[in-house]
Amino acid sequence: MSTFEFPPSITSRPVWGKLEPRAGKSHLMIADAEGAEALLKLAQADGSLMTKAHIMYFPGETGDTYIGKLEELAPAQLYIGPSYEAAVPRLRRTLAGAHMGLQVYLTGTESLMGQAMREATDAGIPHTAIQTEHRGSVARRMQCVHCKGITENVMTDPFVCSHCGLNLFVRDHYSRRHAAFQGVCVDAEDPGNVPPPVELYS
Amino acid sequence: MSAGTNKIDVTVTDIVPLNDLVTRFKFERSDGELLPTFSGGAHTVVEMKDGEVSRLNPYSLMSDPNDRTAYTISVRRDEEGRGGSLFMHRNVKVGDRMTISYPVNLFALDLRAKKHLMIAGGIGITPFLSQIRQLDYANGHFELHYACRNRALGSYVDYLTSAHPNDVHIYFDEMKQAIDLENLLDGQPLGTHIYVCGPAGMINWVRDTAEKLGWPREAVHFEEFLAPQSGKPFQVELAASNKTIEVGEHQSLLEAIEAAGVDAPYLCRGGACGQCETNVVDYDGEILHRDHWLEDDEKQSGKKIMPCVSRFEGKILVLDR
Ligand code: FES
């Protein structure tokens, strides 16, 4: 099962929903890894979406698992790419040419949804109008509040900043602008006194 | 009186009839000081003392939001209404002292929008006049589609078309010109927000069409002030203040509560803002809900009423006020 119930937290922490079909002139769907499952469910709920859908999919470690099934949905456009980062220019170009009436669906990891959400809101879509559904890994995209460097795929708390090497505590405090959770030095007062890392949500 | 509605004493310094129906009024502070700034789309509540009766009507501010020396409003004469607009047209003279509220904005521009698509019907043009001025300063991108009966009754048509020839589109009903809404909404760039002000039918038409075409609710803004309607007089018990009051035929429930000296909250006085929501303790009869605020199930529950526009017919109505 690729779903996970995040426990309730502070208001800053994004809350993800469930994708549902909505009326629209066109549909942009962005997914990584197990996010494909949410798109398959969405297509089941309303197959007609696919004739006006542009899917951008990043399989990552799931490899070929979902590709055949996504192809079977026969979306108007299906782009399968090696990474979200590599597809950002494509996404920006798509949004720049888009019109009102576009529905955006984001699904997969928090890192993917957060970053794609930022592009969509920069393009002028209210963030509350963008649908999301979390699937797959609970790894986080973290910003070090000290050096501002971003560490992707953080699975433990605390963790070591991949840029400045500080030991960082994983907070639920989230920045929509950085599309990242905030990591704060855990041993600032007593250097070296670092609690043993624990896997997130274990 | 109401929380959040400070008053300003003003003097009427100019009255300009624009056409058969609409007259413009200019207010300056009586103490010679500057007025508060406001943002495009804001309204003020004007108090009218008509002998024994006092009426408080909201009007959109249509002047330049950066001009603190004066506010202007445009009032459309409504022969069928309860007389607020007639009072403004007939009784108010240059030099009169009046009381208005601080500006309140329930129809503000969303400045995150990449483009502002404005749709106005008739006197619904007024909030757009100040919004457009605000956007002028910021070089904001807008397009106005304004429908009115004919050229003679099209308030500010000439001003708008000469100041913004490329961005203003006028439609005269009598010439069978109509906004081609589906076409207009189709193909608007991402980040466009819609603003609509006009008759209820127009607002619903725009909201429904936008929803059908997949526009997010957050990108569709609307303002419709409902004027309180006259109706049969009725009696109300105010439980918290232990008073029984009469609501006259041409009085709103809110005005009757105020006339009894009971402090009741309000902002828009037009059934739109939610501020005046009041709990119904008990009733035997029919609550005539006329607001845009309560959800349908709340209206049916009989537990809430919006006294600025809604009325009652029946034996007893007890309010928690
Ligand atoms: S005062 Fe705004 S809804 Fe009644």
Claim to verify: residue A116 and residue A152 sit in the same structural domain: no
| Model pLDDT for residues B54-110, shown as the tens digit of each residue | 888 899 999 999 999 999 999 999 888 778 899 999 999 999 999 999 998 999 999
Q: Is residue A86 part of a domain?
A: yes
Q: Is residue A158 part of a domain?
A: yes
CATH number at residue A102: 3.40.50.80
A48 touches chain B (CB under 8 A): no
Q: Is residue A8 part of a domain?
A: no
B215 touches chain A (CB under 8 A): yes
User: Cα–Cα distance between A159 and A194 in angstroms, integer?
Assistant: 10
- For B72, residues 6+ apart whose C-beta sits below 8 A from its C-beta are B14, B24, B25, B26, B27, B61, B62, B63
Claim to verify: residue A35 and residue A125 sit in the same structural domain: yes
B50 alpha carbon – ligand 1 mean position (Å) = 22
Number of residue pairs across A and B with CB atoms under 8 Å? 58
Residue B2 pLDDT grade (very low, low, confident, very high; cuts 50, 70, 90)? low
- Cβ atoms within 10 A of the Cβ of B114, count? 14
Residue B3 pLDDT grade (very low, low, confident, very high; cuts 50, 70, 90)? very low
Residue B53 pLDDT grade (very low, low, confident, very high; cuts 50, 70, 90)? confident
B220 touches chain A (CB under 8 A): no
Cβ–Cβ under 8 Å, residues B147 and B198: yes
**pLDDT score of B319 more than 80:** yes
Cβ–Cβ under 8 Å, residues B29 and B10: yes
Sign of CA dihedral A71, A72, A74, A75: negative
Question: From the CA of A30, how many Å to the nearest CA of chain B?
Answer: 17
Claim to verify: residue A98 and residue A164 sit in the same structural domain: no
The encoded tokens of residue B312 equal 């009652």
Claim to verify: residue A47 and residue A81 sit in the same structural domain: yes
Query: Is B234-319 assigned to CATH 3.10.20.30?
Result: yes
Q: What is the mean pLDDT of chain B?
A: 93
Q: Note whether A102 contacts B217, CB cutoff 8 Å.
A: no
Claim to verify: residue A146 and residue A67 sit in the same structural domain: no
B103 alpha carbon – ligand 1 mean position (Å) = 15
B225 alpha carbon – ligand 1 mean position (Å) = 9
- The best mutation among B43, B252, B306 to test binding of ligand 1, ranked by most ligand atoms within 8 Å of the C-beta, falls on B306
Cβ–Cβ under 8 Å, residues B236 and B244: yes
Which member of B192, B214, B217 has the closest CB to residue A23? B214
- For B77, residues 6+ apart whose C-beta sits below 8 A from its C-beta are B21, B22, B23, B85, B86, B89
| Domain count within chain A | 2
SS3 labels along chain B: CCCCCCEEEEEEEEEEECCCCEEEEEEEECCCCCCCCCCCCCEEEEEEEECCEEEEEEEECCCCCCCCCCEEEEEECCCCCCCHHHHHHHHCCCCCEEEEECCECCCCCCCCCCEEEEEEEHHHHHHHHHHHHHHHHHCCCEEEEEEECCCCCCCCHHHHHHHCCCCEEEEEHHHCCCCCHHHHHCCCECCEEEEEECCHHHHHHHHHHHHHCCCCHHHEEEECCCCCCCCCCEEEEECCCCEEEEECCCCCHHHHHHHCCCCCCCCCCCCCCCCCCEEEEEEEEEEECCCCCCCHHHHHHCCEECCCCCEEEEEEEEECC
Give the residue extent of every domain in chain B: 7-101, 115-223, 234-319
- For B297, residues 6+ apart whose C-beta sits below 8 A from its C-beta are none
Of A108, A134, A160, the one marking the end of a domain is A134
Claim to verify: residue A58 and residue A127 sit in the same structural domain: yes
Q: Note whether B214 contacts A103, CB cutoff 8 Å.
A: yes
Claim to verify: residue A89 and residue A154 sit in the same structural domain: no
B309 CA: nearest ligand 1 atom: 4
Claim to verify: residue A126 and residue A149 sit in the same structural domain: no
Which of residues B94 and B269 earns the better pLDDT score? B94
Q: Is residue A74 part of a domain?
A: yes
Strands B220-223 and B192-197: parallel
Q: What is the pLDDT of residue B239?
A: 95
Residue A61 pLDDT grade (very low, low, confident, very high; cuts 50, 70, 90)? very high
**pLDDT score of B35 more than 70:** yes
Whether pTM > 0.80 for this model: the answer is yes
Q: Which fold has domain B115-223?
A: Rossmann fold (3.40.50)
Please provide the CATH number assigned to the domain covering B7-101.
2.40.30.10
Any idea which residue has 């009032």 for tokens?
Answer: B75
Question: From the CA of B247, how many Å to the nearest CA of chain A?
Answer: 43
Of A134, A159, A191, the one marking the end of a domain is A134
B98 alpha carbon – ligand 1 mean position (Å) = 22
Cβ–Cβ under 8 Å, residues B176 and B201: no
Q: Letter for the amino acid at B112? A: R
- The best mutation among B2, B223, B225, B266 to test binding of ligand 1, ranked by most ligand atoms within 8 Å of the C-beta, falls on B266
Q: Is residue A16 part of a domain?
A: no
Ligand 1 neighbours, Cβ below 6 Å, are B 266-269, 271-276, 291, 293, 306, 308
B291 CA: nearest ligand 1 atom: 3
DSSP structure class, residue A190:
S
In the stretch 181-200 of chain B, residues with CB closer than 8 A to chain A read: 185-192
B29 alpha carbon – ligand 1 mean position (Å) = 26
* Length, in residues, of chain B: 321
**pLDDT score of A130 more than 90:** yes
Residue B1 pLDDT grade (very low, low, confident, very high; cuts 50, 70, 90)? very low
Claim to verify: residue A147 and residue A112 sit in the same structural domain: no
What string of DSSP letters covers A113-182? Answer: HHHHHHHHHHTT--GGGSEEEE-S---EEEEETTT--EEEEE-EESEE-TTT--EEEEEEEEETTTTEEE
Claim to verify: residue A30 and residue A123 sit in the same structural domain: yes
Which chain A residues are within 8 Å of B191, Cβ to Cβ? 100, 123-125
**pLDDT score of B272 more than 90:** no
Which chain B residues are within 8 Å of A102, Cβ to Cβ? 190, 214
Dihedral (Cα; B61, B63, B69, B74), 10-degree rounding: -60
User: Cα–Cα distance between B21 and B52 in angstroms, integer?
Assistant: 26
B138 touches chain A (CB under 8 A): no
> What ipTM, to 2 d.p.?
0.86
Claim to verify: residue A154 and residue A81 sit in the same structural domain: no
| Full domain range(s) for residue A129 | 26-134
Residue B227 pLDDT grade (very low, low, confident, very high; cuts 50, 70, 90)? confident
Taking CA atoms, what residue in B is nearest to A95? B190
